[in-house]
Chains A and B, each alone.
Chain A
Amino acid sequence: MSSNPLPTGVTPVKSTGLHVGEIAPGVKKVDPIIIADGVTRKFGGLTAVNVEHLEIPRNAITALIGPNGAGKTTLFNLLTGFDKPDTGSWTFDGKNMKGVAAYQAAKLGQVRTFQLTKALGLLTVMENMKLGAKNQVGERIFPSLFPGFWRKQEATNEVKALDLLKKFKLDTKQTDFAASLSGGQRKLLEMARALMSDPKLVMLDEPMAGVNPALTQSLLEHILNLKQEGMTVLFVEHDMHMVRHIADWVVVMAMGEVVAEGPPDEVMRNQKVIDAYLGSHQDVDLGVVTGRVKGKMDPEAKKMAEEVEHLDQAINASEKGDN
């Protein structure tokens, strides 16, 4: 783990030496925050998650990647108590989490965001933020009747919320209903709200989906900052540039299983990962292949163009057959 000050968004400081022994799916970590064993979840006949052993390193940024339907979000739901596994157990920060309800998991310092943003639209931005704070006296029913019990804490929370909102550039929106924010701003709000609880582990489900490039840059900085502040980040993401850029460790899932893990550059060279997820043509510019963009056709692009041509002909032939 590096103790260098964080460069502002340019080159993130990667944490290295997170694992013990040879890198393989389920490798031991030096200091894991989550240890999962034999976690399975079936939906009818479909095994959505089947994780033999998985450890998430503490105070590092771990990316969870994999094709659609690989079980990433289901695993997220299981780890956060939003869903119950059929078998298996896991610990968070040394505590056995089996049967722990979602709200209790959050209280223990494990907060999450959702793939479909859940900003509470008809609450104001500030109310959203204050809702994130933990251990509020005023949230208990009897003290809530008497402002004397909670006014001071409320003021403290407001200062903290404003501070976070400034960081996320939402401070000018604090009295607006969250519903009036753009999709990207809602993602920011959801993340800021999660941070109100001073979590140990922040779990982000596709934080970049639907966020414009400029905002992506600031979101990346925020995520890197979390590590700097001593938190652990686990996120699901499809954007490989982002994964390569900020993740210290990458876990790849396919068909519910962990098929590979390791530091980003190593994982992305892994043949299994390429087959299951990245695809063999990941570096080919589709614009060039389709002829919409002028560019150099390298051998790989040519090969892909030929494949496409072949498929096209097959489709045309079958359509003629139908008529």
Chain B
Amino acid sequence: MSAAAENAPGEAKVIPIESAPSWSEPPADGSGLADRVAGAVGGALAGRLGAAATRAFGKGWEDRAADGLAFLRRRITGDYEVDEFGFDRELTEEVLLGLLRPLAEKYFRIEVRGIENIPAEGGALIVANHSGTIPLDALMTQVVIHDHHPRHRHLRMLAADLVFVLPGINELARKAGHTLACNEDAQALLERGELVGVWPEGFKGVGKPFSERYKLQRFGRGGFVSSALRARVPIVPCSIVGAEETYPMIGDFRTLARLLGLPYVPITPTFPWLGPLGAVPLPTKWIIEFGEPIATDRHPVEAADDPMLVFDLADEVRETIQHTLYQLLVRRRSVFF
């Protein structure tokens, strides 16, 4: 098209916007503006700008622009689907993961191991260690599972209730497929055959001081094990190395945290001293390893109500993750490379 357009400048101008097949109503006032804009853009594209755009954006830019327009069209008309939990697959794939991907690939250079331990289909519960003051580790896990898994599965994360109280954050979290960490939601997602991610240490893990790095905290009440037992899905232990050093937390503004109703307000070597710059994570090298799945279908469904078995399984998962963390740390060359 671009070649043809260059040869016959002005041809694109004659495509009036009213000829678009969806335009059946008589043009109201205001459509004139859209018409003029479209005409002007068309004229510019057909003329010198078309060639310039090909140089600037590379070959095939029309295709990409058309894809973008189709995406835009679906978004502005609300023509997309969300599931019961508010997961907006299209937005997640096209926008949210795209924003996080450079961070995972270029900044933290995440090395992924054992992705084959995540089943190709059906429900599974990914249990991982939590660290790094800001739950970047959870977001990065979501990106690498989508990008590295052969079936490009989406990780549905169980997040703390604080996430769903905060304006803005709750909206993004729901659209990215996260939901509240509660038994009902976990079980509902697992029974629908989704891949569910849980960070059972919660704020104890993500907000622990730097001196306790890579020491797993208590795994709550083991509610995640009950959910997996009820849904009869395997538990995949996941060990994340590198996130601990992104924001080394050397102190905590307890009073301020209590005042704001937050679990902690971190002090790191750069925050709050450098202001917004302090919010930039350190460029550490990450390794995310998925371990052998632990089957839960060898136990009857009633086992979910047996506290001893639940604690035993939770301990087994915890030990596996802790052990893998130590192995990975021994093998790691340096924090940053």
Partners in one complex: no
A interface with B by C-beta (< 8 Å): none
